[in-house]
Structure 1
Amino acid sequence: MKQNLNGRWDLSSYELIPVSENIQPDEKTQDRIDELMDMVDTNYLADFGYTRDGVLAQNDIEFNSLEDLYSKHEESNLGQIIADSFAYAADSVDVAVVPSGTIRDTYTKGDITVEDVYNSFSLGIGKDGIAGYPLISTYLTGKELKLAAEVDASVSDFMTTARLYSSGLNFTYNPNRMILNKVTDCYLTKDGQRIEIQDNQLYHVVTDLYTGQMLGSVNKMSYGLLSLEPKDKDGNPIENLEDHIIKEDGKELKAWDAIARYMCSFDDTDGDGIANVSKYYASTHEHKVVDDSKNIIDLIKKPNKFSAMIVTIVLVIILLIVLLILLIRRIVRKIRKKNK
């Protein structure tokens, strides 16, 4: 780079250097990096019982990439394993939710280390001032769970960071249907069994602190049209989500730690003393089903209140346009009569 007369920098030349094991690191720089990484082990990970290069599991599954989360509106094994880990780490969970915007990295084949897991969910800081968003325990009604599925189906194409991946909540949506009426089937699953959602029943929902805060802001962003209000176990609206952080022995349960625990929980299928990521994640399991039918019956069946509202608004607009046209025609006729 060369500095020009304006104090800015212009490119003179460049060379692309492939990143490989053949590159010799600068000794002083590498020594400083090693010192800082040792500090991560000593001052952070040691409190969780880990080291950065500790192997949690061996992986032979091809997980979705980060790009897939934003370019494909469908079930994702990457989002699924993270959602399942939240449900695994918490107690008596009905639904665990993970939005695409909180996932920062995928898992490659081979050893999955503590560093890999932390990098996959490295956002935020807890109320304790320690890095990493904690998990929170909240409750939503069945009606709100269905609405969350509808938000994913109807809104996340415009806001791809809001695509939801869940454990325990399954739904089918048709992208060709009217907005806010795309979900055609929504239910819970437990131990492989389908459970119908009761609109007025409270369900235990676990997610990370940031996502919980975003769920609470849906009501404000939609001017009250869409209401997702996190509640306590008695159904009272939660004023401060930090009061509902999941803790163990007084310490916050960090989201990335929940993932790490889940990785360690898999069976050691090859007998080498290290867990192997379950083959379950090699395929999808109807957590989010895309029904691309354009059949007229499939497009209009099961209308909800939002579709009724939209149809009413459209009819009112059409009526106003017709009345406006009739008024203009009447005025034009009067003008013509006067001119005669």
Structure 2
Amino acid sequence: MTLEEIARLAGCSRSTVSRVINNDPNVREETRKRVLRVIREQDFQPNPAARALAGRRSRVIGLVIPQPLSTIFSDPYFSTLIQGCATACDERGYYLMLSLVLRQADDTYRWLIRTRHMDGLLVAPPLMDDPFIPHLLDRCLPLVMMGRIPGRADIPTVNIDNVNGAKLATQHLLKLGYTRIATITGAMNLVGAIDRLEGFLNALREAGIDPPEEYIQEGDWSEASGKRAMENLLQVTPPPQAVFAASDNMAIGAIKAIQAAGLRVPDDIAVVGFDNMPMAAMADPPLTTINHQIERIGFLAATTLIDRLETPPACMSDGDVQHVLLQPELVVRMSCGQSLQHGVVP
């Protein structure tokens, strides 16, 4: 909501709204009451910093990660993503501000939007049914999502093809002769986790395999959750021959659980991850995984947002909403056994 919109609803000029906000005594009382009523009804909160800038842009890009603090600062995925966003902002002369939304409450979101200390927002990764997105769209704040929300083709996105990536990982295990393949999913309130489960199931169904329910264990992207999920899988009869974990963090947790049970990777159980984080190459054994291009996603998302901010509205149309979908790549290492069976150098 802008001063112009308040003025239109109140039936007066923008300058009159500005004078009311600044308590100018020369405004007629009837007009003052009408403007204040519209301001209350529209939940409009003037930003003193924005008024001081007199319409100039702040050149600040906000980055919102709707995840717990413990996840943001412990998962290397987010530091890699932030690095990509920061690099693009630095190259274009913008500042990146990390906005930590600690609770998904309407008042928190409304405050973040009302203050308008930023020109636009990057959201990563969006939660399913997150109330933040409708608030942003209602306030006409430019945004780009790193990820996607089903049914929201009107929001620019930059994403990896999670369905195809999970399918590639699972097909790789199938080609090696594994038939009892389990998965450890990410948190299922995120579209990325749902898409990776879909890709896993698509690959198995195309091979004529219907996995038992016990072969699908939910994690939360953390190493600890991967370890717990793998411990559950080891109790299933028969146990899986291979596991696709929806993140490298969880895959490493799974490897530790397998080894703690006195079994070997890949001799007894093969493991494939997703993300290609630096830890994957240093795992024991080195982890076969899907290259996620996380830093590039952050870079492209920030670039896409800045391009939109710097494009005059008259030059944009409804068809200009951009959707960038990066294609995943399989990175083969020792954890699935291919190096030993086919002589491929990791």
Please give the TM-score of this superposition, normalised by the length of structure 2.
0.27
Structure with bigger gyration radius: 1
Higher strand residue share: 1
Q: Which has the higher contact order (CA 8 A, sep 6+)?
A: 1
The TM-score normalised by the length of structure 1 is: 0.27
More helix by share: 2
